[in-house]
């Protein structure tokens, strides 16, 4: 449902022969894309509403945007229109890359941006980003033969709202969201942008922790067992109450099941472990605090969730984020937002990526505590990109 004030962003996925570097036409790619991206088809409910043809398709991902995909001589042109288009755009490019990697040996997919019009030249995003990281601000286009500012080519991604602003706004509109039946057309541009931003953050968080997901879940909130702990300045080891969340519904297990003990653990964690994990814990809590106000309305029709429980978990992740921030070393910069590969600056994702080991240690601790069933009954599934997700059994057949 594109609306007023929406932005449009475009990426071109160039398919090339890795040996010669020449553009290669791939037979059957569009067909595979249509099948694979069916969940975004306009004809999901009624086939006759679908819009796809031999060389292209139109897709819709609600608040995350509407996309136009077209194959032109070995290039897949992807255009997304939305209040905040970057998340859906990145997602679609990743799907194309995955397909090319998986099904066509010897071919590679290069994410590119168009040169400034009227030039029809292309610039590879990866090359632009790496050039800029080397401190070189401009690149030369080999079609128009002009030098261009890298920033002007990358369009410096759509501006993001600060996390605090998004969170405050999402909490405010939470009840409103539950009443929005027919998609999101009733919401204003800013709110739609904020929801899409929160959705992108969630996807990027899971993507950054793809590897440790093999052994266990990635989403949890925590609080000290002992009240008044937050005021204790010096501590070495402390008992924390950990609650696992479902990676599909983005909700804590007790909220989904009504069982206050399911997926809840009391474990002793050291200050040292907490301090080393602080970048990860900060981004985790930030991501969950954004996910909760959107996740609750999505299940409101099926599940009766009491407001007190929502507030309690919202409070838990907000406090957890502040706590993690207080543990960061002075000068250790961890931003609120994760960013896509296009970001010319190294982002907090890199600080967090190194933290898979901390998560694995935690999985080992949880397994020791697990007497009946594993991880509160969360089940491991695989999405279409064969990445592991830990979901409540009621969502298992979505995979």
In the complex, the residues that contact Zn ion under the rule CB under 5 A are: 13, 93, 96-97, 109, 111, 115, 119, 121, 141, 143-144
* Nearer residue to Zn ion within complex by CB, 58 or 141: 141
**By C-beta, is 122 or 291 nearer to Zn ion?**
122
Rounded Cα gap, residues 297 and 300, in angstroms? 5
At its nearest, how many Å lie between Zn ion and the CB of residue 79?
14
Q: Which is nearer to Zn ion, 141 or 343 (CB)?
A: 141
**Do 43 and 69 touch, CB atoms closer than 8 A?**
no
Identify which of 257, 263, 243 has the alpha carbon closest to the alpha carbon of residue 303: 257
Phi–psi pair at 52, nearest 5 degrees: -150, 150
Closer residue to Zn ion (CB): 148 or 160: 148
Q: How far is the CB of 104 from Zn ion (least distance, A)?
A: 13
Of 109 and 213, the one with the shorter C-beta distance to Zn ion is 109
Q: How far apart are the C-alpha atoms of 126 and 112, rounded to whole Å?
A: 8
Closest contact distance (angstroms) between CB of 55 and Zn ion is 17
Distance CA(175)–CA(342), nearest Å, equals: 34
Can you give the C-alpha Rg of the chain in angstroms? 22
Closest approach of Cβ 142 to Zn ion, in Å?
8
Q: How many CA atoms are closer than 13 Å to the CA of 174, on its beta-carbon side?
A: 21
Nearer to Zn ion, 153 or 334 (CB): 153
**Residue 98: is it exposed, middle or buried by C-beta count within 10 angstroms (0-12/13-18/19+)?**
middle
Measured from the CB atom, the residue of 143 and 165 that comes closer to Zn ion is: 143
Q: Give the number of other CB atoms < 10 A from CB of residue 286.
A: 29
* H-assigned helices in 53-188: 86-103, 125-133, 150-154, 163-179
C-beta of 82: minimal distance to Zn ion in Å?
19
C-beta of 98 vs 240, nearer to Zn ion:
98
Q: Closest separation between CB of residue 153 and Zn ion, Å?
A: 9
Q: Which of 207, 395, 375, 397 is nearest to 303 (CA)?
A: 395
* Distant-in-sequence, close-in-space partners of 67: CB < 8 Å, separation ≥ 6: 40, 58, 59, 60, 61, 78, 79, 80, 81, 88, 89, 92
DSSP 38-75: GGGBTTSS-GGG--EETTEEEEE-GGG-EEEEEEETTE
Helices 278-299, 307-327: axis angle to 10 degrees equals 160
The nearer residue to Zn ion, 111 or 250, going by C-beta atoms, is: 111
**Distance separating alpha carbons of residues 154 and 264, to the nearest angstrom:** 44
Q: How far is the CB of 13 from Zn ion (least distance, A)?
A: 3
**What's the closest the beta carbon of residue 337 comes to Zn ion, in angstroms?**
22
Q: Min. distance of Cβ 109 from Zn ion in angstroms? A: 4
Exposure b/e, 125-148, CB count within 10 A at least 16 = b: beebbebbeeeeeebebeeeeeeb
C-alpha–C-alpha distance, residues 168 and 174, integer Å: 10
What is the nearest approach in angstroms of Zn ion to the Cβ of residue 108? 9
Cβ-based nearer residue to Zn ion, 93 or 191: 93
């Amino acid at each position: 449902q594109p609306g007023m004030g929406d932005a449009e962003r475009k990426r071109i996925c160039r398919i090339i022969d890795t040996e010669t570097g020449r553009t290669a036409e791939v037979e059957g790619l569009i067909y595979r894309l249509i099948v694979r991206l069916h969940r975004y088809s306009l004809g999901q409910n009624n086939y006759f509403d679908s819009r796809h043809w031999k060389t292209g398709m139109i897709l819709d991902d609600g608040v995350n945007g509407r996309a136009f995909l077209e194959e032109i001589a070995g290039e897949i042109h992807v255009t997304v229109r939305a209040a905040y288009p970057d998340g859906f755009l990145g997602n679609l490019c990743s799907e194309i890359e995955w397909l090319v990697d998986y099904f066509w040996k010897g071919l590679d997919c290069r994410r590119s941006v168009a040169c400034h019009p009227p030039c029809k030249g292309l610039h590879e995003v990866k090359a632009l980003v790496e050039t800029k990281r080397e401190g070189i601000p401009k690149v030369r286009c080999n079609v128009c033969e002009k030098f261009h500012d890298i920033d002007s080519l990358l369009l410096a991604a759509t501006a993001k709202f600060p996390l605090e602003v998004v969170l405050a706004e999402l909490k405010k509109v939470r009840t409103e969201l539950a009443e929005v039946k027919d998609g999101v057309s009733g919401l204003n541009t800013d709110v739609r942008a904020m929801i899409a931003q929160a959705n992108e953050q969630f996807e990027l968080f899971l993507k950054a922790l793809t590897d440790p997901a093999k052994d266990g879940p990635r989403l949890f909130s925590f609080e000290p067992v002992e009240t008044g702990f937050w005021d204790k300045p010096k501590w070495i080891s402390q008992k924390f109450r950990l609650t696992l969340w479902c990676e599909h519904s983005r909700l804590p297990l007790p909220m989904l099941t009504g069982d206050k003990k399911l997926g809840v653990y009391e474990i002793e964690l050291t200050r040292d472990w907490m301090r080393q994990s602080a970048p990860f814990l900060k981004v985790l809590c930030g991501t969950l605090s954004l996910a909760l106000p959107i996740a609750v309305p999505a299940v409101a029709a099926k599940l009766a969730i009491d407001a007190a429980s929502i507030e309690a978990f919202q409070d838990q992740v907000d406090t957890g984020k502040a706590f993690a921030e207080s543990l960061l070393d002075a000068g250790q910069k961890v931003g609120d937002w994760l960013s896509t590969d296009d970001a010319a600056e190294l982002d907090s994702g890199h600080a967090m990526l190194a933290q898979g080991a901390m998560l694995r240690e935690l999985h080992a601790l949880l397994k020791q505590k697990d007497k009946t069933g594993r991880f509160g009954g969360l089940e491991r599934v695989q999405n279409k990109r064969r990445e592991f997700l830990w979901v409540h059994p009621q969502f298992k057949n979505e995979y």
